[in-house]
Structure 1
Amino acid sequence: MNSKRSLIGRTAAVAAAGAAALVLAACGGGGDSSAGHDGHSMKSPSASASASQGQHNAADVTFAKGMIPHHRQAIEMADLALSRAESVEVKKLAGDIKKAQDPEIKTLSGWLTSWGEEVPAEGATDHSMHGGGGMMTAEEMRQLKESSGKAFDTAFMEMMIKHHEGAVEMAEAEQTDGVYAPAKEMAGRIITSQSAEIEQMNKLLGKN
C-alpha cells in the first residue's frame, strides 16, 4: 500500500514537473509572442496612427511659440531694410529673410493650432517671452527705425547677427530636445541658412 502510494506520489510529482516545464517553455519560447501581444496592447492602432502623424513634446511647443514672434520681428526689420538700406546686398539679404521666414510663421502657427496650443498674438514680440533669443528691445527697434543710409545698414546687420544667433540657439535646442520630426527638420534649415547669413553679414561688416 505504501509502495502504491509512493508510486502515485512519484507519478504526480513527475506530472507536476512536466506541467511546470511546459509553463516555463511557454514563458521562454513564447516570450516574443507574449511581448508582441503586450506591445499591441501598449501600441493600439490609434496610437500607431498618431505616431505616424508625429508626436510632439513641450520642447516642440516652446520652439514654435518662441520662433513665431522671433520671425515676426526679423520680418519687421527686413521691411525696414527694404525701404531704408543703402546697400544692394543688405536689401537682397532682407528680401531673402522675409521670403524664408514668412512661410515658416504660417507653418509654425499651423502646428500649434493642430496641437491645441495658442498661437502668439500679433505684436507679441517681447523678448522676455522666450528667454531673449536675440530679440531686439523696443529701444533698439526705435533706433533702427530712426537710422538711414549706411548707418542703417550697419545697425541692421549688427542687430540681425544677434537676432540670427538667437534663432540658431533656439533651433539647436529644438534639435536636441524636440521629438516632432517636421519641427526638427525646420530647425536644421534655420541653423544652416541663418548661420550662412551671419557669415555673409560679418563679411559685409568687414569682420571676416
Structure 2
Amino acid sequence: MAQTLRAARWIAVGILTSAFLLTGCSYGSSNQSNQMPDCDEVLASALQSVRIDDTSGATDSKFQWLTENCSHEYNILVDYTSARVSAQGTLGPDSCDELNQYLVLEAIDLLRADGLCTSGSAAAAAPAPVEQPGGGIAWNEAVGYAGTEQRVCGPLAGNGYSDDDLFLNLGLDYPDPQRFQIVVWDVGGLEPIAYGSRLCTSGLITVYNGVAQIELEDPSLISIYE
C-alpha cells in the first residue's frame, strides 16, 4: 500500500507540475492584483475542482498559486489528490488510520468526509494516544484545535530569535510548516533547553502562515520535562 500511495503521490505532483509549465498563469492575477488571496480559500476552490475533475487552466493556476504561496495547503492538496487516485484504483480506499503514517491530518479528514478512506479493523490496531505530561494534546494535533484554549506538549526540535522574541519549535524544526511553535514575546533570552526535552504550555492556539502556535509573554508558563 505504501508504495502504491507514494507512486500515486508522485503522479499527482507530476501532473500538477506539468500543468504549471503549460499554463504559466497565477491565481487571481487579472482583476485582483493588489489583493492577496487567502490560502484556505484557494485550497477549498482547488479541492472542489479536483472533486469534479475540472482540468481547466483556472484550476491549474490555483495549484500553482498554492505551491508558490502556501506550502502547507499545497501539501494537503497533493496528499488528498494522490490518495484520491489510489482510492479510485483497483485496490479501492485504504484505512483512514493507516494513512496517518503517510499523509497530513487535514488531507485524511477530507478523504474521510468524501468516503475515500475507510474505518474498520485497522482502527482497532491504531496506537493509543500518547499521554502528555499534566494532560493536554500533542503538538501535531494542535492545528486541529485552532481558535481554542488548550495545553499543548511536544519535544523541542529547534529554536530561534527575532530581536527579543523567542520561537520554540516543537516536533519539527523551522521552516517545516507542520511544526508547532511557542512564541515568547520580548523575553530577551532563556537558559539553553536541551533538544528533545518535552515542553508544555497552555493558551489560545492560533495559526500563522499555516503554523499552529501559542503566543506568550511570560516564559514561566512553559513547563519543561527532560
TM-score category, normalised to shorter length: under 0.3
From the two aligned structures, give the one with the greater strand fraction: 2
TM-score (norm 1): 0.23
TM-score (norm 2): 0.22
Greater relative contact order (Cα < 8 A, sep 6+): 1
Higher radius of gyration, 1 or 2: 1
